[in-house]
Amino acid sequence: MALPVEIPRRQLFIDGEWREPVHKKRIPVINPATEAPIGDIPAGTAEDVDLAVDAARRAFTRNRGKDWARAPGAVRAKYLRAIAAKIIERKSELAKLEALDCGKPLDEAAWDMDDVAGCFEYYADLGEALDGKQKAPISLPMETFKCYILKEPIGVVGLITPWNYPLLMATWKVAPALAAGCTAVLKPSELASVTCLELAEVCREVGLPPGVLNIVTGLGPEAGAPIASHPHVNKIAFTGSTETGRRIMTAAAQLVKPVSLELGGKSPLIVFDDVDIDKAVEWSLFGCFWTNGQICSATSRLLIHEKIAKEFLERLVAWAKNIKISDPLEEGCRLGPVVSEGQYEKIKKIISTAKSEGATILSGGVRPQHLKKGFFIEPTIITDVNTSMQIWRDEAFGPVICVKVFSSEEEAIELANDTHYGLAGAVISNDLERCERVSEAIEAGIIWINCSQPCFCQAPWGGNKRSGFGRELGEGGLDNYVSVKQVTKYTSDEPWSWYQSPSKL
C-alpha cells in the first residue's frame, strides 16, 4: 500500500548540515498500525554527540557580539517566528508523518502541529521581551552601591524527548532554549524521530545559524547517555520515564549539572455525584484515551462517587465501545495503535497482571477483532481494584483506566494522593467551591477542574514527587534556560577605607 507521504531519508543535523553518523548505522522506522518498516533514521553515537556539542559551543560563543548568546532577542525571535510559519506551511505533511511514525490519530497530530507553531510564536515574544529585562535594578540599603540582575543564557543544553508527542515535546524545550540564547543538542526518542528530523530541515530552510540547533537521533544508551554525561553540556532537560530520569540525574550529578525532569504519572480523576454523567464520562475517556493512552499526565485512576458508580460505569463502557479504533490516517480515527511492539507487550502484561491479582476487566483489554495487524489494544476499563495492585501503582502508558469507588470527599482525596507520582489530577463536580478545595488538596503540579488534559503553552507544566521537578511552558519554561547573574557596582568617589594604606601609617 502506498504511503500518503514518504518518510524522508535524513541524516544527523550537526552544525547546520546533514551528516552521516560516524558509524554509518541506521534504525528502522516501523509503522505501528501495520508493523511494517516504512523508512529509517540515523543511529548516532557518542562520537556524533561530541561533534554536535562542539558545534553548539561554537555557535554559542562564535564571535563576541555576533554569537547566538549575545544576539538581540528580536533577532532570535525572527528565526523562531520563521520556524512557526514553516511548520504551519507543512502542517498537513508533518501531521501525516507523525501519524505514520507513532500511531497518533491524524486529527490529533494536526492539532499538535498548531500547538508546535503556537509554542514557537509564544517564546519568540518572550525572548524578544528579554531585551528589556537584561539589567533589572535592585534597591539596596547603601547609596554607595548600585546593583542589577543580568539574565543570561545558561549555555549549551541537552534536550532529550519522548515519542508520544514527538515534535511538540521537542518544541517545548527547543523554543524556550533558543529564545533564551542557548544553543542545543536535541535527542528525540528512537521510536519516533521523523518529525524532529523535519524540524532540522525547517531550521535549515529558514537559515538558522549553524550549530544553534543540532539533532542527533539514536538509541538512548548510545546517543542520549553521552549527552547527559557530556562535560560541555551545561544543562539537561528530559521528558520520559521515571527510571530513565533517575539515570540522567545520576549522570548529571557527577558534574553538578542542572537538570529539569518531566517524568511519569498515575494521575487521579475524581467524579462527584452532582455531575452531568455524560459530560463526566467523556472527560474521563478523553483524560486517559487521548493520544492512544500514551500521556504522562493521563488521569488513569478514575474515582467515582458510590451514588453514581453503577450508572457511570455502564455509560463509560458504552462510550468506550463506541470509540473508533483504526489506522490513524483513517477519517474519524479516535484510537490508534500504541507506538511499538515492546510497548504493546508491556501493556498486555499489565492488564494480565491486574486480572491475576483479582481485578475485573470490565471492557477491552484485547486486540480489536477487525484489526489483525498493528499494535492495537481496545480501550480498557478495570474495576475491583485495590491500592496494592500494580495497575493502581504503576503507569501503564496505554489506553487503560482503573476504577475505584469512594463515599466521601476525604476518602477521594486520600485515594487521589495514594501514589508516588504527582504530575496531574482532575476533579469534576458542579460544586465549584468543592472543586477548589479538592484542587488544593491533591498533591500534583497540574490540576484540571471539570475537564482533563487541556494544555496551553502559556501555563506552567510539571510535577512533584516521582513525576520530576522543574516547570516547562509559561514564563518558567524560559527561566529553565536562563542563568541569573548579580552585578554590584561601587559608585562613590570616596575610598572604602576599611584598611589603611601603608603610606598613611
User: Is residue 492 exposed (0-12), middle (13-18) or buried (19+ Cβ within 10 Å)?
Assistant: exposed
Q: What is the dihedral of CA 100, 103, 105, 107, to 10 degrees?
A: -40
186 close to 14: Cβ distance less than 8 angstroms: no
The verdict on 255 and 283 lying in the same domain is no
Nearest of 159, 185, 187, 191 to residue 173 by alpha carbon: 159
Query: Catalytic one among 296, 402, 435, 457?
Result: 296
- The percent helix, strand, coil of the chain (3-state, each to 5) is 40, 20, 40
Rounded to a whole number of angstroms, the CA Rg of the chain reads 25
Residue 266 CA to residue 419 CA, distance in Å, equals 7
Sequence-distant (≥ 6) Cβ neighbours of residue 38 within 8 angstroms: 3, 7, 29, 30, 31, 100
What pLDDT score does 65 carry? 52
Catalytic residue among 128, 262, 395, 472: 262
> What are phi and psi for residue 456, nearest 5 degrees?
-130, 140
Same domain, 193 and 116: yes
Residue 231, domain CATH: 3.40.605.10
What pairs with residue 483 in β-bridges?
Answer: 152
Per-residue pLDDT at 4? 87
Q: Are residues 102 and 223 in the same domain?
A: yes
Contacts 24+ apart (CB under 8 A), 54-58: 54/232, 55/14, 55/15, 55/16, 55/210, 55/211, 55/214, 56/156, 56/183, 56/184, 56/185, 56/211, 56/212, 56/214, 57/156, 57/183, 57/211, 57/232, 58/15, 58/211
475 and 424 in a single domain? The answer is: no
What pLDDT score does 505 carry? Answer: 59
Among 130, 179, 157, CA closest to 258: 157
Same domain, 248 and 280: no
Rounded distance, CA 371 to CA 338, Å? 13
Residue 216 lies in a domain: yes
Residues 357 and 259 in one domain: no
Identify whether 63 is part of a domain: yes
Structure letter (DSSP) for residue 133: G
List Cβ neighbours of 381 (8 Å cut-off, separation of 6 or more). Answer: 313, 316, 317, 320, 361, 362, 363, 364, 401, 403
248 and 180 in a single domain? The answer is: yes
Distance between first and last Cα of the chain: 95
In a domain, 224, yes or no: yes
Q: How many structural domains is the chain composed of?
A: 2
Nearest to 469 by CA among 499, 444, 500, 436: 444
Alpha helices in 130-193 (DSSP H): 166-180
Give the residue numbers spanning the domain of 474.
Answer: 24-32+39-132+154-263+467-482
Distance CA 447, CA 202 (A): 35
Please, which residues bridge with residue 383 across strands?
360
**Per the domain annotation, does 98 fall within a domain?**
yes
Strand pairing of 17-19 and 400-406?
unpaired
Q: Could you tell me if residue 144 is inside a domain?
A: no
- Residue 491 in any domain: the answer is no
Q: Would the pTM count as exceeding 0.75?
A: yes
Assess whether 177 and 210 both reside in one domain: yes
Q: Is 223 helix (H, G, I), strand (E, B) or coil?
A: helix
Tell me the average confidence (pLDDT) per consecutive run of 10 residues in the chain, 505 residues long: 86 98 98 98 98 97 74 95 98 98 98 98 95 82 93 96 98 98 98 98 98 98 97 97 95 95 97 98 98 97 98 98 98 98 98 98 97 98 97 97 98 98 98 98 98 97 96 96 94 92 73
User: What does the pLDDT read at residue 1?
Assistant: 56
Whether residue 455 is contained in a domain is answered as: no
Residue owning grid cell 551528516: 19
Q: Are residues 220 and 284 in the same domain?
A: no
Residue 495 lies in a domain: no
Give me the CATH number covering residue 315.
3.40.309.10
Do 272 and 258 share a structural domain? no
Same domain, 214 and 353: no
Cα gap 87→85, rounded to integer Å: 5
Its sign, for the CA torsion 434, 435, 438, 439, is negative
| Cβ within 8 Å of residue 202, ≥6 positions away | 83, 86, 87, 90
Assess whether 202 and 333 both reside in one domain.
no
296 catalytic per annotation? yes
Tell me what pLDDT residue 504 has.
64
Contacts of 56 (CB under 8 A, 6+ apart): 156, 183, 184, 185, 211, 212, 214
